[in-house]
Chains A and B, each alone.
Chain A
């Protein structure tokens, strides 16, 4: 649902102090003002409103009432919520390393200069990023199916019977495959861009010291793109915790496997739009947001430690 985005880090360079002191000190606001205004409307206001909603409950008798942290205690004891959290946690523990591992290997292969047809591979593997999640899910969903899909073809061609990829036991892995297909090229491009800006002098020095290919990868390339690796990991984690598009679009094809509380995001959506429980839905979303931020922050601390 969200695109993974390499975020920021420290400022590139402090701009030189303005030549004429105060006269221009507010000029920058003229340029950044529009962004800040819209940002406040679509980011800050909803966050504040979310917190407000989570502290109230709409009751038949008495209308909108302040209930303090009641919604939070309810959510923390909500089995449906925690099983959804467990599901995305399992998903990210398996899918994120696989996806980023493949992306890294492809980026290193492109960067090594040892491939025939490098540009072709770079653009081809990146292409799925241009495919909407809806289309990707519909395509794979059809292909998984036994009726129109490739699975049915393989079964009849080889006389085997593959497992039903849309059955409850397999559907999470099937979703993992769709997400991997969508984003592996994007992450590859992030890593590749980071590899391209490593100063050549480092390689020359390594050459003089007689370092081999693997040594160059482990001692120069990987440390140099550590920032990109951490960022891609954080954004993949945020993406996994927010999983919604793929399961919700796949649901019509896998009614028995995917429930409306399949992921935390799906759960908040169902609560709000099928159950009209806006207050509780906002509470679940906030808890999920906090969990996401804690995990992302932990990964960042771990990843940025020197010598990790």
Chain B
């Protein structure tokens, strides 16, 4: 890749928590109704499936077939559906939820930690092999995950890791995108003079990192954490390959298993639970997006590509 990313040289010592709001057209642009209507159409396209999901989570299996897709059925079965989702098959859905949380906490948390440490090193240190690391990591990003999936599975099965949580967690620990984002962010947010001053005062490298650098990196860390969380929470291909035992499934794999159950001979048709389970699966992430908006947007802005 060879676009030029320029993190503007830092003059101020405070990190940019938010990009300054710039007016892009000098003078006040006139608000445009037609443009807003077009955007509203786009927003409708975006939310209709989500509205469909909410409405249909209130229907029983028979109600699903009888009623209009975008309106409620006679029976309001949302609470029943939620209860059944959590009790069906000895409450395996709850177990999947806990598994997903485990994978997110260890996988996304670990990925963020490694990215923060690595990004800090790339931004603030010179060390042998720095360019090589950079080139290899960037090159690897372009390698399709498919090319890696099968051999990773075979390697892990030789190590006896398949069908254990580690098979899902370990590959999640590497986020090249997170590394890049932290690097750009650290270059901008940590004044080198501040590090020098801490070293002059005799602080160890570890202490300098924790007490000086880490607080300045907070917005970038939230951004990376949000993206690695989404990637781990929504991961499907990796657990599909690595896990056989339903007890270790994350939510995505569980929902997919419930959905294909209808195709098996004598399988229970539980589309109402698939729909309710899907709704329960996306709520936490959507909430996180809404509440942490200002952080991830500022973090992304720092990683923007400029000419």
A positions within 8 Å CB-CB of B: 1-3, 5-13, 15-19, 24-32, 34-36, 38-39, 41-47, 49-50, 53, 102, 106, 109, 111-117, 120-121, 123-136, 138-140, 142-143, 147-150, 152-153, 157, 181, 185, 189-190, 193-198, 200, 203-204, 207, 213, 216, 223-228, 230-231, 234, 238, 241-242, 244-245, 249, 252, 255, 264-265, 268-269, 272-273, 278, 281-282, 285-286, 288-289, 292-293, 296, 300, 304
Inter-subunit contact B146/A285 (CB<8 Å): yes
Cβ-defined partner of A304 (8 Å) among B3, B39, B205: B3
Inter-subunit contact A134/B125 (CB<8 Å): no
Q: Within the complex, what minimum Cβ distance (angstroms) separates A278 from chain B?
A: 6
Residues of A within 8 A of B43 (CB): 120-121, 124-125
Tell whether A26 pairs with B128 under 8 Å between CB atoms, given A130-B286, A132-B236, A273-B241: yes
Q: How far is the CA of A130 from the CA of B281 in the complex (A)?
A: 10
Q: Using a Cβ–Cβ cut-off of 8 Å, how many residues does chain B contribute to the interface with A?
A: 131
**A225-B305, A268-B146 known, 10 other contacts, Cβ within 8 Å:** A3-B227, A5-B177, A7-B180, A17-B126, A32-B118, A47-B140, A130-B289, A132-B251, A133-B234, A249-B256
Inter-subunit contact A50/B151 (CB<8 Å): yes
B293 lies within 8 A of chain A by Cβ: yes
Q: How far is the CA of A120 from the CA of B290 in the complex (A)?
A: 11
Q: Within the complex, what minimum Cβ distance (angstroms) separates B279 from chain A?
A: 8
Inter-subunit contact A53/B151 (CB<8 Å): yes
B262 lies within 8 A of chain A by Cβ: yes
Could you tell me the dominant secondary structure of chain B's interface residues?
A: helix
Inter-subunit contact A112/B304 (CB<8 Å): no
Q: How far is the CA of A292 from the CA of B31 in the complex (A)?
A: 43
Q: Within the complex, what minimum Cβ distance (angstroms) separates B96 from chain A?
A: 12
Tell whether A47 pairs with B236 under 8 Å between CB atoms, given A36-B133, A39-B137: no
Interchain residue pairs with CB less than 8 A apart (25) = A1-B236, A6-B180, A12-B6, A12-B123, A12-B184, A12-B187, A19-B196, A42-B148, A127-B47, A130-B289, A131-B282, A133-B252, A134-B234, A135-B278, A142-B271, A148-B69, A152-B69, A196-B22, A196-B301, A197-B304, A207-B25, A231-B305, A242-B144, A245-B236, A282-B151
Cβ-defined partner of B170 (8 Å) among A42, A123, A224, A244: A42
Task: Type the 1/0 row for B1-37, where 1 means its CB is closer than 8 Å to any CB of A.
Answer: 1111111010000000001001111110111110110
Q: Within the complex, what minimum Cβ distance (angstroms) separates B16 from chain A?
A: 11
Cβ-defined partner of B154 (8 Å) among A3, A53, A114, A134: A53
Task: Work out how many contacts link A and B, with CB atoms closer than 8 A.
Answer: 389
Q: How far is the CA of A26 from the CA of B183 in the complex (A)?
A: 18
B164 lies within 8 A of chain A by Cβ: no
Inter-subunit contact B293/A116 (CB<8 Å): no
Cβ-defined partner of A8 (8 Å) among B138, B145, B259: B138
Q: How far is the CA of A281 from the CA of B285 in the complex (A)?
A: 35
Inter-subunit contact B271/A148 (CB<8 Å): yes
Q: How far is the CA of A14 from the CA of B144 in the complex (A)?
A: 30
B42 lies within 8 A of chain A by Cβ: yes
